[in-house]
C-alpha cells in the first residue's frame, strides 16, 4: 500500500514554511514537490504540466495528455526505487486560480492519480492550508502587486472591483468550504485542514496534527523555525503588507515575453536549453528572477510601499465568507471562530 499526500496550498498560508521546515523533516516521507531541487526532472515536468495562466503558450489536449503520462511515469519510477511507502506532493500552484489554471489542474491531477493506480494500490490524502480571508486576500494582492495593479489599480480599487463583480468570481477563489467539497467530490479522500493562525497561536497542536495525519514523526534535527517569504510587519498594532516589486521589472518582463512567444515554435521549444545562444538568453531570464524574486521584502522593507486593511474592509471580506466558514467548521469539527474566521 502506497500513501500519497497532496498539499496544493493555498499560497500565502505558510506553504513555503511548511515545505522547507516541516514537510522536509518528516521521517520516512519522500518529497515529490517542493522544496526539492528545481533542476529535478519531476519538477521540470510539473512546471510544464501545471503552467501559469499568463503564459502565452496554449498546449493542445494531446500534448497535455502526453505530458501527464510522462509526469505519471516519472512518479512511478520514483515510487518503485524508493524504500519509503509515503510520498508527499506539495506545491501551491496546483490548485491556484489566480496565476494558474486551478480548475483544470484539479482534474489533471485526478488523471495522474488514476495513472498511478494502474500499478499501485494507493491511499490518497489531502492537506489544505488556509488563512483568514481578509489577510489572505491582501497578502495575495501584495505578492502579485505588479499584475494586479495593471488590472485594477491600487488596493482600494481592487477591492471595489472584486465586490462589484456580479459573479464574485475572484472572491469565490477563497471559499474554503467550496474547495474542500470539490476535493471530497472528486477524490473522496480524507482532508486535513491547517489554519495558519493555529501555527502562530498553538504551534505544538499544529505540528502534532501533521504528525498524526502522516502517522510519522518529525526529525527535530532537521526541523527549523525560520520565517520565509514574510511580506508583512506589525507597526504599532497595525499589520502592513509590503508590495512586491521587481527592480527593472520592465526589462525582465520584456525578455520573458519574447521567450514565451518563441516557445510556440517547435525548434526553439526543443532547443532553448541546448543551443548556446538560446541557453544564455534563457539563463539570463532565470538569473534575474532568482536575484530579484523577493528583493523588495528582504531589503529595506521599512522603506517599501505598504498597504493595510481598515476595519470596514476587513469586516466586509469576513462577512462575505462567514456562512461558508461556519459550514466548514461544522464539517471538520475544528473551532475556526477562535482564529477569527467569523464573528
Please tell me whether the peptide bond between 35 and the residue prior to it is cis, using omega within 30 degrees of 0: yes
Alpha carbon distance 269, 254 (integer Å): 18
Q: Is the pLDDT of residue 251 over 90?
A: no
For the residues 262-272, what does the mean pLDDT come to? 69
Alpha carbon distance 309, 241 (integer Å): 9
Query: DSSP letter string over 246-263?
Result: -TTHHHHHHHHHHHHHHT
Summarised one tens digit per residue, pLDDT across range 271-321 is 766 666 666 666 665 665 555 544 444 443 333 688 999 999 999 999 999
Domain residue extents for the chain: 2-137+173-226+321-339
Summarised one tens digit per residue, pLDDT across range 36-79 is 665 678 888 888 898 888 765 677 888 889 999 999 999 999 99
C-alpha distance from residue 65 to each of 57, 61, 70, 295 (Å)? 16, 6, 9, 37
**CATH dotted code for 2-137+173-226+321-339:** 3.40.50.300
Amino acid at each position: 500500500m502506497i500513501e500519497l499526500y497532496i498539499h496544493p496550498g493555498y499560497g500565502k498560508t505558510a506553504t513555503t514554511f511548511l515545505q522547507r521546515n516541516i514537510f522536509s523533516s518528516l521521517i520516512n516521507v519522500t518529497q515529490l514537490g517542493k522544496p526539492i531541487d528545481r533542476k529535478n526532472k519531476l519538477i521540470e515536468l510539473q512546471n510544464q504540466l501545471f503552467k501559469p495562466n499568463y503564459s502565452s503558450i496554449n498546449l493542445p489536449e494531446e500534448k497535455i495528455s502526453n505530458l501527464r503520462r510522462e509526469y505519471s511515469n516519472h512518479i512511478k519510477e520514483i515510487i518503485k526505487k524508493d524504500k519509503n511507502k509515503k510520498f508527499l506532493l506539495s506545491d501551491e500552484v496546483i490548485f491556484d486560480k489566480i496565476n494558474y489554471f486551478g480548475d483544470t489542474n484539479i482534474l489533471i491531477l485526478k488523471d495522474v492519480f488514476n495513472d498511478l493506480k494502474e500499478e499501485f494500490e494507493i491511499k490518497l490524502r489531502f492537506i489544505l492550508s488556509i488563512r483568514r480571508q481578509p489577510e489572505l486576500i491582501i497578502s495575495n494582492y501584495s505578492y502579485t502587486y505588479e499584475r494586479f495593479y495593471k488590472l485594477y489599480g491600487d488596493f482600494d480599487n481592487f477591492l471595489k472591483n472584486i465586490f462589484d463583480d456580479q459573479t464574485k468570481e475572484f472572491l469565490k477563489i477563497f471559499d474554503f468550504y467550496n474547495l474542500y467539497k470539490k476535493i471530497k467530490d472528486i477524490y473522496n479522500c480524507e482532508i486535513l485542514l491547517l489554519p495558519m493562525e493555529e501555527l502562530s497561536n498553538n504551534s505544538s497542536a499544529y505540528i502534532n496534527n501533521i504528525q498524526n495525519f502522516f502517522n510519522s514523526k518529525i526529525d527535530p534535527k532537521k526541523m527549523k523555525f525560520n520565517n520565509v517569504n514574510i511580506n508583512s510587519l506589525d507597526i504599532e498594532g497595525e499589520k502592513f503588507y509590503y508590495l512586491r516589486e521587481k527592480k527593472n521589472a520592465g526589462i525582465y518582463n520584456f525578455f520573458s515575453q519574447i521567450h514565451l512567444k518563441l516557445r510556440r515554435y517547435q525548434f526553439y521549444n526543443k532547443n532553448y536549453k541546448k543551443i548556446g545562444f538560446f541557453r544564455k538568453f534563457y539563463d539570463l531570464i532565470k538569473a534575474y528572477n532568482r536575484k530579484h524574486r523577493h528583493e523588495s521584502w528582504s531589503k529595506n522593507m521599512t522603506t517599501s510601499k505598504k498597504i493595510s486593511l481598515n476595519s470596514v474592509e476587513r469586516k466586509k471580506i469576513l462577512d462575505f465568507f462567514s456562512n461558508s466558514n461556519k459550514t466548514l467548521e461544522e464539517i471538520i469539527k475544528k473551532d475556526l471562530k477562535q482564529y477569527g474566521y467569523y464573528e
